[in-house]
Amino acid sequence: MAELFAQEGAKVLAVDLSEYKLMAAFGASSAIRALRQDVTAGDAADTLVGTIQSELDGLDILVNNAGVPGDLGPIEETSDASWARVFSVNVDAVFRISRACIPLLRESAYGRIITTSSVNVDFGLRRYGPYVASKHAVSGLMKGLPIELGRNGITVNCINPANVVTGMTRSGFPAPNTAEGRAYLDAATVLNRSCQQEEVVSAAVFLASDGGAYITGQAIVVDGGMTCRLPSLSERAIREIQRVT
């Protein structure tokens, strides 16, 4: 995410819990300032705003991209701590950081808030109850904010991806070159392949560009046709998706 925005000419503050990952990814970049920060910490929003004010020339684009799936299992076995952890990262941090950054975005002539949600706002998923609930919550927040901020010229949108293979999600997908993986992709998409991270980032860059200036309060779905196919999935395909997940 940070690299493509930097390639487009942005000065980027990249935030992650792991300093090692930040340094490995961005240590050599002059356009990307890496900041180790737990976004769920009580002072995280103030820390980010302070860093932006001291090291960047204001704030034009806020991308809320942190997220966790939580512990997988049925709701009846989900602990309060597991539920709270998912909402702390996926919802509470987005709320606090967005709230703290609104004054900076009002000073910009180019204000954007872009939040990564999920196609799971359109359907549930077995064993992912807290995650699905959190994505509904954050998507709701992103529906209310554009109404409040539109008069300031600030656009607010979500990106709803699916089947994106990352370090966090890789263990949840079968290898695409196996029979199981091919069956999953055939059942879950119409393009018969996984989504690449760059394809999600490209959607964010578009929303941040002049071309996305009149788009607000929307969810841009990057799912390879998964949601358009769901109503017509065969019982066999549904069983295949449930078995894999």
Per the residue annotation, which of 98, 118, 134, 194 is the catalytic one? 118
In the annotation, is 214 catalytic? no
Q: Is 184 a catalytic residue?
A: no
The residue among 23, 21, 17, 6 whose CA lies nearest residue 61 is: 6
Q: Which of 199, 196, 187 is nearest to 159 (CA)?
A: 199
The neighbouring-strand residues paired with 34 are 14
Please give the DSSP secondary-structure letter assigned to residue 194. P
Name which of 156, 159, 135, 163 is nearest 216 in CA terms.
Answer: 156
193 token code pair: 């392949």
Stated as kind and residue range, the H or E segment containing 13 is strand 12-16
Residue 113 tokens read as 């808030």
Count of C-beta atoms within a 10 Å radius of residue 89: 20
Residues 6+ apart with CB under 8 A from 194: 163, 164, 165, 173, 176, 185
Active site residue 108: no
Q: Is 49 exposed, middle or buried (0-12, 13-18, 19+ CB in 10 A)?
A: middle
Q: Which of 98, 117, 128, 131 is catalytic?
A: 131
Active-site pick, 98, 134, 135, 139: 135
CA distance 42 to 47: 10
Residues annotated as catalytic are 118, 131, 135
